């Protein structure tokens, strides 16, 4: 264990509950490395999570941490940020959390543009409950609730967030760990709502049922299918078939941050009070 781990993790809570070969630890490592690089005081960071394997991350990190209800992490986080804007608020969700049960909260968080950073662990499966397909499971994959293969079309989380109005959207993977740290740093520094979708691997509940022989093979899949967004722009569309873009996908500074706008409301209310 390195210095960063000792500094930011609750080492007395180890070992964690994640399976051997799980990608969640890589994401947690990338995140605390990002916090270290950002130089945030641990007392000033609030980490909010939902339910599922990803939800457990808050218990392992030494910040103000809250493990909320399934799908509702963004709602809790919204209350924290609005009530104490000084805090740096990070929200951790799984794909089920973010785009199934909590989909409504996600699109509205994107629309409002409150200065928080969401990290979405997209492992394309419900892991904690033992491998049911999620809204991001690709077509014709196997899951316990799709014994004959999935038929549902899947969501592209990053595109969904761009469409809903998020002002910083990036996609990383558990393979490209250093890139992931960079993206989290940039997302945190962005004044507004930022989303970092992380394509990660669940070897036990996704890989095993879908012809991946090992966690390493799943990481290699990410390496082979993740194409830098800048490079993807120059590639013929058919070469991108079955692949996904990684890196910074969208950034806008045109839409004002929510609390800045709310300042206007407070000003107007006070002027009315005086008159």
Partner 1 sequence: MAEAKLLSGNDACVQGALAAGVRFFAGYPITPSTEIANAFARELPRRGGIFMQMEDEIASMGAIIGASCTGTKAVTATSGPGFSLMQENIGYAAIAEIPCVIINVMRYGPSTGLPTSPSQGDFMQTRWGSHGDRPVIVIAPYTAREAYRETGRAVNLSETYRVPVIVLMDEILGHLRERVEFRDEDLVQEISRKGPEPGKPFLPYENTEDGVPPFADFGTGYRYHITGLIHDETGFPTNNPVEVDTIMRRVNGKLDMHIRDIERTRFVDADDAEILIVAFGSVARSAHEVVRTLRNEGKAVGMVRPVTVWPFPDEDIRTAVAGKKAVIVPEMNLGQMVREVERVVAGAVPVHALNRIDGLLVTPHEIRDLVEDLL
Site residues, partner 1 (CB under 8 A): 13, 42-44, 46, 48, 58-59, 62-69, 72, 74-84, 86-87, 104-105, 108, 262, 265-266, 268-270, 272-273
For residue 138, whether the previous peptide bond is cis, meaning omega lies within 30 degrees of 0, is: no
Which of residues 254 and 273 has its CB atom nearest to partner 1 in the complex?
Answer: 273
Nearer to partner 1, 50 or 131 (CB): 50
Q: How far is the CB of 104 from partner 1 (least distance, A)?
A: 5
Taking the complex as a whole, how short is the minimal distance between the CB of residue 56 and partner 1, in angstroms? 9
Whole-number minimum distance, CB 267 to partner 1, in Å?
9
Smallest distance from partner 1 to CB 110, Å:
11
- Classify the C-alpha dihedral 156-159-162-168 as positive or negative: positive
**Residue closer to partner 1 (CB basis): 234 or 273:** 273
Distance of closest approach, residue 257 Cβ to partner 1, in angstroms: 15
In the complex, least distance from residue 14 CB atom to partner 1, rounded to whole angstroms:
12
């Amino acid at each position: 264990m390195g210095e960063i781990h000792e500094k930011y993790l609750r080492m007395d809570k180890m070992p964690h509950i994640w399976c051997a070969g799980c990608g969640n630890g890589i994401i947690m490592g990338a995140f605390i490395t990002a916090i270290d690089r950002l130089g945030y005081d641990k007392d000033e960071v609030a980490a909010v999570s939902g339910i599922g394997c990803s939800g457990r991350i808050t218990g392992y990190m030494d910040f103000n941490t809250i493990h909320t209800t399934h799908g509702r992490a963004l709602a809790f986080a919204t209350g924290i940020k609005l009530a104490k804007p000084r805090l740096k608020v990070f929200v951790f969700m799984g794909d089920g959390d973010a785009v199934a049960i909590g989909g409504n909260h996600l699109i509205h968080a994107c629309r409002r543009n409150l200065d928080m950073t969401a990290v979405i662990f997209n492992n394309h499966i419900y892991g904690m409950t033992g491998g049911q397909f999620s809204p991001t499971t690709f077509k014709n994959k196997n899951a316990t609730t799709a014994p004959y293969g999935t038929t549902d079309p899947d969501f592209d989380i990053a595109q969904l967030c761009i469409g809903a109005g998020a002002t910083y959207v990036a996609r990383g993977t558990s393979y490209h760990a250093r890139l992931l740290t960079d993206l989290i740093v940039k997302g945190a520094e962005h004044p507004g709502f930022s989303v970092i979708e992380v394509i990660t691997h669940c070897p036990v509940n996704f890989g095993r049922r879908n012809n991946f022989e090992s966690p390493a093979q799943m990481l290699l899949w990410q390496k082979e299918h993740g194409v830098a967004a800048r490079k993807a722009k120059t590639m013929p569309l058919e070469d991108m078939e079955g692949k996904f873009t990684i890196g910074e996908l969208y950034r806008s500074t045109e839409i004002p941050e929510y609390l800045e706008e709310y300042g206007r409301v407070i000003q107007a209310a006070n002027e009315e009070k005086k008159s």
